[in-house]
């Protein structure tokens, strides 16, 4: 049984790692953006009501195994408690900026699909928020994770997570 929570700023590689680990370990993955944002709303940036968000999260946490990834922390203490591993991605902010802009461009030219209704203003807002993430949101998230510090792994190189699970597979003869 494996439960993995991945947290990091926008563009830090959460979705990439979750996708790769999902295939590697055979675990279902869940993006917290799909819980937090109301993609059915006609207005970009509409949030899912907290009760409905908690219900969606509860359904995932009730599963035997999962990968959860997102930038959020304040409503995720139960996820942190249940996780076998909590990966904190501390990717350089300028690398994240580049990835955010690249992803935006790929969505705009329709090479990557997205339910999001982004525009240049929302891109600029996200880039600004990205520059505050490490000093604000991540600091608060790490405080919330303190009781679970024995399972928190802080990564500056995203590929290190795959090395960990390759070693684990070899040691248990998977």
Report yes or no on 157 lying in a domain. Answer: yes
Q: Does residue 173 belong to any structural domain of this protein?
A: no
Q: Has residue 39 got a pLDDT over 80? A: no
Those residues whose C-beta lies under 8 Å from the C-beta of residue 168, and which sit 6 or more positions away, are 174
Q: Tell me what the mean pLDDT of segment 145-152 comes to.
A: 96
Over residues 129-139, the pLDDT tens digits come to: 999 999 999 99
Whole-number Å distance between alpha carbons of 17 and 161: 8
Whether the Cβ atoms of residue 22 and residue 32 lie closer than 8 Å to each other? no
The alpha carbon of 13 is separated from its chain's Cα centroid by a whole number of angstroms, namely 8
Instruction: Give the per-residue pLDDT at 127.
Output: 97
Give domain status of residue 174, yes or no: no
pLDDT classification of 170: cutoffs 50, 70, 90: low
Report how far residue 77's alpha carbon sits from residue 64's, in angstroms, rounded to the nearest whole number.
18
pLDDT at res. 110 = 79
Band (pLDDT 50/70/90 cuts) for residue 18 is very high
Give the Cβ contact number of residue 137 at 10 Å: 17
Phi, psi of 52 (to 5 degrees): -65, -40
**Within-domain flag for 94:** yes
- CATH of residue 30's domain is 3.40.50.300
Predicted local distance difference test score (pLDDT) of residue 12: 95
159: left (phi over 0), alpha (psi -120 to 50) or beta: alpha
Asked if residue 38 is part of any domain, the answer here is yes
Within a domain: 172: no
Question: Which of the two residues, 114 and 2, has the higher pLDDT score?
Answer: 2
Residues of the chain above pLDDT 90, percent: 67
Overall domain count for the chain:
1
Q: What is the pLDDT of residues 71-119, one digit of tens each?
A: 988 889 999 999 999 999 999 999 999 999 999 999 888 777 766 678 8
Query: Is residue 61 predicted with pLDDT exceeding 80?
Result: yes
Residue 27's alpha-carbon distances to 24, 50, 68, 96, 137, in angstroms, are 8, 26, 10, 26, 27
Range of the domain at 83: 3-165
**Element of type H or E holding 154:** strand 152-155
Relative orientation angle of helices 93-108 and 120-133, to the nearest 10 degrees: 160
Average pLDDT on 36-44 reads 76
Is residue 149 situated within a structural domain? Answer: yes
pTM: 0.88
């Amino acid at each position: 049984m494996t439960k993995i929570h991945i947290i990091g700023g926008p563009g830090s590689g959460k979705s990439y790692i979750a996708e790769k680990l999902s295939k590697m370990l055979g675990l279902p993955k869940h993006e917290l953006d799909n819980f937090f944002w109301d993609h059915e709303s006609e207005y970009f940036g509409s949030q899912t009501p907290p009760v409905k968000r908690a219900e969606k999260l509860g359904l995932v946490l009730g599963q035997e195994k999962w990968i959860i990834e997102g930038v959020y922390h304040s409503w995720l203490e139960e996820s942190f408690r249940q996780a076998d591993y909590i990966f904190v991605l501390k990717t350089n902010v300028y690398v994240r900026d580049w990835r955010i802009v690249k992803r935006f461009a790929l969505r705009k030219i329709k090479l990557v699909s997205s339910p999001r209704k982004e525009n240049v203003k929302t891109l600029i807002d996200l880039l600004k928020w990205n520059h505050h993430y490490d000093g604000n949101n991540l600091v608060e998230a790490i405080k919330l994770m303190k009781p679970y510090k024995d399972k928190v792994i802080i990564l500056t190189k995203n590929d290190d997570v795959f090395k960990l699970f390759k070693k684990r597979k070899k040691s248990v003869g998977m």
